[in-house]
Amino acid sequence: MSNIAKRQTSTLDKVLRIALYVTLLAMALVYLAPFVVMLLTSLKDVEEIRSGTLLSLPASLDFYAWGKAWSGACTGGTCEGIAPYFLNSFQIVIPAVLISTIVGALNGYVISHWKFRGSNLFFAALLLGCFIPFQVILLPMARTLGWLGIANTTTGLVFVHVVYGVAFTTLFFRNFYQAVPAELVKAARLDGAGFFTIFYRIILPISTPIIVVTIIWQFTQIWNDFLFGVAFSGFDTQPVTVALNNLVNTSFGGKEYNVDMAAAIIAALPTLLVYVLAGKYFVRGLTAGAVKG
């Protein structure tokens, strides 16, 4: 190839690269526009919101809305800041994620490397659970929670999310463990290792990518859930999504859009932090289990 052709190819590559970066930057700006509007609105007072434009900068930084969204109370005691409900969500999310991840890992390990009579039927039933709409299980789950005596409690919501999440976590771990050589497990059995020894010393140490995937998936699903939260929680055990809905739809003496936007950003912060800190491992973990089906 001549030097002229090489220069033309190099120039074309640079132009395409610049065009790609410009396109990605434009799409990122479009994607972030709602968040920018929310952030700017949360830093303005009500009069400035009504008289200004959505993208106008605040005249001065005012964090009053953030304080009221977090701990303020409405007149009459019918609504309050989202702080206690923020804590409720963590009390629901953390045990639900841990339990569903552990159970899903054990199920995936069993289905992949400890075949038993009916194992395929068991996996098909779990797979079917991934496609059952939330609305279908509301009534039977409500009766189950009442029978167990954990209705309108955070324990009940943990139970609901574990039951519904196990199907997804099992599928993730099963696909990942299918790529683990069966000879490795068989060799461990011949050496006298039992079920839990193999799982703890061989399977679990190589499961970090898929564990990260399930934690991100479950954390996001449970934290953002509204339907189960509004259906199975009491007034004092509501998750932050239900509290946010109540705050936004309750007003006294005028709508405070700055408080609503601040509360929405606060409610979204945990999931944003999870994706920022561990997002790069999410795709890596998904593709790690895509070698064998």
**For the chain, what is the domain count?**
2
Q: What pLDDT does residue 218 have?
A: 92
Tens digits of residue pLDDT in 207-221: 888 898 899 889 999
Q: What confidence score (pLDDT) does residue 130 get?
A: 79
Do 146 and 212 share a domain, yes or no?
Answer: yes
126 & 268 share domain: yes
Residue 75, domain member (yes or no)? no
What's the pLDDT band for 224 if we cut at 50, 70, 90? very high
71 in any annotated domain: no
In this structure, are 130 and 42 located in the same domain?
no
Domain boundary pick from 11, 28, 62: 62
Does residue 293 lie in a domain region? no
Clarify whether residues 187 and 53 are in a common domain.
no
pLDDT at 57 over 70: yes
Digit-coded pLDDT (tens) for 102-120: 999 998 888 888 877 877 8
Range of the domain at 114: 83-288
Residues 237 and 121 both lie in one domain: yes
**Quick one: pLDDT at residue 195?**
83
Q: Are residues 30 and 111 in the same domain?
A: no
Co-location of 196 and 283 in the same domain: yes
Same domain, 26 and 87: no
Query: Is residue 96 included in any domain, yes or no?
Result: yes
Domain co-membership, 124 together with 262: yes
Percentage of the chain lying above the pLDDT 70 cut = 87
| 11 belongs to a structural domain | yes
Provide the pLDDT for residue 74. Answer: 47
pLDDT > 90? residue 155: yes
Q: pLDDT tens across 157-207, in order?
A: 999 999 988 988 998 898 888 888 888 888 888 888 888 888 888 888 888
pTM: 0.83
Q: Is 67 inside a domain boundary? A: no
CATH number for position 191? 1.10.3720.10
Residue 95 domain flag: yes
Phi, psi dihedrals of residue 80, rounded to the nearest 5°: -150, 180
Mark whether 43 and 102 lie in a shared domain.
Answer: no
Provide the pLDDT for residue 208: 86
> What is the chain's mean pLDDT, rounded?
83
